Amino acid sequence: MRAAQQGSAEALETLFRWHWPRAHRAAYLVVHDAVAAEDIAQEAFLAAVRALDRFDRSRPFGPWLHRIVVNRAIDFARARALRSEVEALEAVSPSASEASPGQPYSEELVAALARLSPEHRAVVVLRYLLEFTPGEIAGALDLPRGTVNSRLRRGLDTLRVALAEEQP
């Protein structure tokens, strides 16, 4: 981070390569739209570059970035949900050929996540992909801790049921 703040493009690329995959994945799992996920993650990184010289190095970069990503993803998913008329045109689902054969739950998980509301998806993604604690999720999404816990519980239950139905 220090080198990137001093103008090192190599350092910034290292930072980008390290954090992009999870940021991009988090956005995708919340919005379920490949194009939008890419845009949201890009926007978050551009915001990071914009604020680089003011960034407090005593704070971790990843959670700050992920917080931006997930909040923007929630906003996008909410707005799109209001316009179901054209949603089908924009939604991009992974094709069967893109599934990971070694991870039998992956495709089903994406489908099961899609059944949750954007707010529930965001909590689940923050907890299980980005490894936020419930307290950190509450701070990131500006929610009461109890709401986070209930959304986590409900989200997890929905996923369990959905995935159990998919098992042979």
Partner 1 sequence: MTEPPIREAMRSAPLPDEQAAEQRAWQLVGAAFEHDVKQQRRGRRPRRMARPALIVGVLFAVGAAALTPPGEALGEWISDAVRPARAPSKPALTSLPTGGRLLVTSSQGAWVVQRDGSKRRLGRYTEAGWSPGGLFVVATRGRQLVALEPGGAVRWTLARSAPVTRPAWSPDGFRIAYLSGSSLRAVAGDGTGDAPLTGEVAPVTPAWRPGAEHVLAYVNRLGTIVVRNGDTGNRLWRARTFGSPTRLLWSPDGAYLVVVSREGVDVFDGAGAPMIDRALPAGVQTGTATINPVNGTLALVRYRPTLDRSEVVTLPLDTGGGPIRSRPRRLFAGDGRFGDLAWSPDGRWLLLAWRDANQWLFIRSARVNKVQAISNVGRQFDPGGDAAAPFPRVSGWCCAQSPDSQP
CB atoms < 10 A from the CB of 89, how many? 7
Half-sphere exposure of 27 (CA within 13 A, CB side): 26
Structure tokens that stand for 152 in this block: 């986590």
- If the CB atoms of residues 103 and 133 are measured against partner 1, the closer one turns out to be 103
For position 55 contacting partner 1 by CB under 8 A, the verdict is: no
For position 110 contacting partner 1 by CB under 8 A, the verdict is: yes
The binder of partner 1 chosen from 7, 60, 135, 146 (CB under 8 A): 7
Q: In this structure, which amino acid lies at residue 39?
A: D
For position 119 contacting partner 1 by CB under 8 A, the verdict is: no
For 92, list phi and psi in degrees, rounded to 5: -120, 120
- Three-class SS state of 98: helix
Q: What is the four-CA torsion angle of 132, 138, 142, 147, rounded to 10 degrees?
A: 130
CB of 105 to partner 1, least distance (A): 4
What are the residues binding partner 1 (CB under 8 A)?
4, 7, 9, 12-13, 16-17, 20-21, 24-25, 28-29, 34-43, 45-47, 49-50, 52-53, 76, 79-80, 83, 85-87, 89-90, 92, 94-95, 98-100, 102-103, 105-110, 124-125, 128-129, 156, 159-160, 163-164
